[in-house]
Structure 1
Amino acid sequence: MDRMTALIVFRTVVSVGSFSGAAKQLGLSPAAVSKNIGELETHLRARLLNRTTRRLSLTEAGAQYYERVSHILDDLDEADGSVGDLQQQPAGQLRVSAPITLTLLTISPALPQFLARHPGISLDLHLDDRRVDLIRDGYDCALRGSDKLEDSRLVARRLMVLKHVLCAAPSYFERCGMPKDPSELVDHSCVQFTLSDHSAVWAFRKDGRTVTVPVNSRYKVSSSLAVRDALLAGFGLSLIPELYVRSQLAEGALVPALTEWESDETTIYAVYPSRHFLPAKMKVFLEFLAAELVDDTHTAPRQPVIDA
């Protein structure tokens, strides 16, 4: 017996008042309706309906069962409808994990406008440069900067590429000199962002030549903002996303080095558990991210969706 089908058949028979009417409404044969009622009564070990050739009536047990079943089926219909609403209309809580500096410098100022456009959405934004487990921790989406995404359970949407710049304060270069070649960096005071995929080795490319520089500095830190502070204080130099120091470079508070060399890049992805049955709240949030996280370099075509 398909219990759900039997319950629906039972409620329909009672509401319509006949087996033949229920069969017509449900698109079943009268025999199938009768079979479902019979199997349900056998399962319950109770007679639910009194049937004659002219009349159909509920037994005492049937009346009580009908009232409870009707409430249950109504609740299920309401639950199905609420899920459908979430799929069609942007609504519900959106849990997002994102790196601190990137978020503060890019999407944070625009998030109030996003929420104003979608009043049905509530946002729980977790800022952390460390990676979370989306599935285990119950996140809908995360922003990640990575050279390579390895979790095959996730879907990734490529958003932008962060180009890096080697830079330091003018006072540092006055004191320690401006490097002319990446190989000279071993003699400089470097500041490491420890959560980067290329924290321990910096790579530089020019005219088909690649120079890798092992980095083992006195100051290692898990915050890009702290790296920037160290640079501004003249402590040393570092390879940092150009976006994070753009205004300081424009003001002259920081000065780039090895500008003829190409350095490391970080690709920013939005990652989420599945592309199937994507709720409306996720669709509009992904559209928001794509609009806000614009790739300034335009050096690579954007790939809408790839498997991580």
Structure 2
Amino acid sequence: MDKLSVMHAYRRIVERGNFARAAEDIGVSPALLSREIKLLEESLGSVLLTRTTRSMSVTDAGRLYYDEAIGILDAVSKVETRIRDGAGTVRGHLKVNAPSSFGQTVIAPMLPAFRNAYPDLSLTLSLDDRMVDMVEGGFDVSIRIRAAMPDSALVARKLGAVRQRIFAAPAYLDRAGHPKTPQDIAQHAVIGFLLADHLTSWSLRGCSGASTVELDPRVRVGNSLVLRDLLIAGQGIGTLPDFVSNAPEARGELVRVLPDWELPAPEILAVTASRLGMDARVMAFLEHLRAALRT
């Protein structure tokens, strides 16, 4: 008995819901498929499927075997793909997920060079500031900016870190005054990032120690680029990641508030679902992304 072939057949049976449809997919007779599954059950000493003339159901043991079979079959498929692509040819389709502001300010500018380097690769870039289920979404890699990854089956690789600092427009500070200490910020018009862990509490670090400021932002937005534009318009004080703040700070549209203080630096993570490592498509994309982060 070819265990991988039978495992593949069993997966199709469970996903298609009956033997006839699975047999049609695989190209064998239902009777042969039934015999193969019977042999599998006998080798395992456990019933995987309960069958009647009209219905089929998966037992607890069958569900466990199905879940493990998916992982094994997918792993084998990915190994075979990596070997076939071992010469380094980057082709096929790459599906990437990233936060909106990071995607627009860092990934989008690098895409023309990436596309020119790999013309045989098609690309889907999905931008979403909320955490997505990358497995359910079918993403090959997800870029996440977080202080730490929660425990999961996903594999995270660090690409860099983000400096998160406090900014305001010169016009706002001329009008409202410059905060002298972290606690002074609570007296100002604060614009908060709706999805951040630090929406109402800023744990700041500086050369003189640490300070926590409790806040009630007058305006709360769910996109860093909108927050940036409100700050430039003189609407208040807020925190921005460096990939969003660098350009307006260089132009003088924003200035640092309490330059000796900043929030803890979250990490830029490339998250994949495979424990086997990254294939040529993902590796090529991350190579270009690392180069963009260095500029």
Could you say whether these structures have the same fold, taking a TM-score greater than 0.5 normalized by the shorter chain as the test? yes
AA paired with 1:178?
A: H
Q: Secondary structure at the match of 1:265?
A: coil
Structure 1 residue aligned with 2:21 = none
AA paired with 2:284?
A: V
Q: Mark the runs of 5 or more structure 2 residues left unpaired by the alignment.
A: 6-31, 36-78
For 1:112-170, what per-residue CA distance to the aligned partner results, in whole angstroms no more than 9, with x for missing partners?
22122122211011011111101111111011100111142111111121112211112
- Where in structure 2 are the equivalents of 1:138-157 lying within 5 Å? 138-157=138-157
CA contact (8 A) 1:168 1:231 kept: yes
Give the whole-Å Cα distance in 2 for the aligned partners of 1:4 and 1:260: 60
Q: Secondary structure at the match of 1:227?
A: helix
Q: Mark the runs of 5 or more structure 1 residues left unpaired by the alignment.
A: 6-39, 44-79, 297-308
Give the whole-Å Cα distance in 1 for the aligned partners of 2:80 and 2:144: 34
CA contact (8 A) 1:165 1:239 kept: yes
Give the whole-Å Cα distance in 1 for the aligned partners of 2:130 and 2:86: 30
Structure 2 residue aligned with 1:137 = 137
Computing the radius of gyration from Cα coordinates, the structure with the larger value is: 1
Structure 2 residue aligned with 1:119 = 119
CA contact (8 A) 1:147 1:197 kept: no
Structure 1 residue aligned with 2:28 = none
Seen in structure 2, the aligned counterparts of structure 1 residues 118 and 275 have a Cα distance that, compared at 3 Å, is: farther
Give the whole-Å Cα distance in 2 for the aligned partners of 1:290 and 1:249: 23
Q: Is the counterpart of residue 214 in structure 1 residue 214 in structure 2? A: yes
Q: Find runs of 4+ consecutive structure 1 residues off by over 4 angstroms.
A: 1-5, 80-84
Q: Is the counterpart of residue 259 in structure 1 residue 256 in structure 2? A: no
Seen in structure 2, the aligned counterparts of structure 1 residues 87 and 230 have a Cα distance that, compared at 3 Å, is: same
Give the whole-Å Cα distance in 1 for the aligned partners of 2:92 and 2:292: 22
Report the alpha carbon displacement of residue 87 of structure 1 after superposing the two structures with TM: 5.4
For 1:200-228, what per-residue CA distance to the aligned partner results, in whole angstroms no more than 9, with x for missing partners?
21122234521111222121000111101
Q: Is the counterpart of residue 285 in structure 1 residue 291 in structure 2? A: no
Q: Secondary structure at the match of 2:228?
A: helix
- Where in structure 2 are the equivalents of 1:8-19 lying within 5 Å? none
Structure 2 residue aligned with 1:85 = 84
Q: Secondary structure at the match of 1:148?
A: coil
AA paired with 2:264?
A: D
CA contact (8 A) 2:144 2:269 kept: yes
Give the whole-Å Cα distance in 2 for the aligned partners of 1:93 and 1:135: 16
Percent of aligned pairs with the same residue? 36
CA contact (8 A) 1:87 1:278 kept: no
For 1:67-121, what per-residue CA distance to the aligned partner results, in whole angstroms no more than 9, with x for missing partners?
xxxxxxxxxxxxx987743455322111100112112212212212212212221
CA contact (8 A) 1:206 1:260 kept: yes
Q: Secondary structure at the match of 2:261?
A: coil
RMSD: 2.7
AA paired with 2:166?
A: L
Structure 2 residue aligned with 1:199 = 199
Which stretch shows the higher mean deviation, 284-293 or 140-149?
Answer: 284-293
AA paired with 2:156?
A: A
Q: Is the counterpart of residue 162 in structure 1 residue 162 in structure 2? A: yes
Aligned residues: 225
Structure 2 residue aligned with 1:12 = none
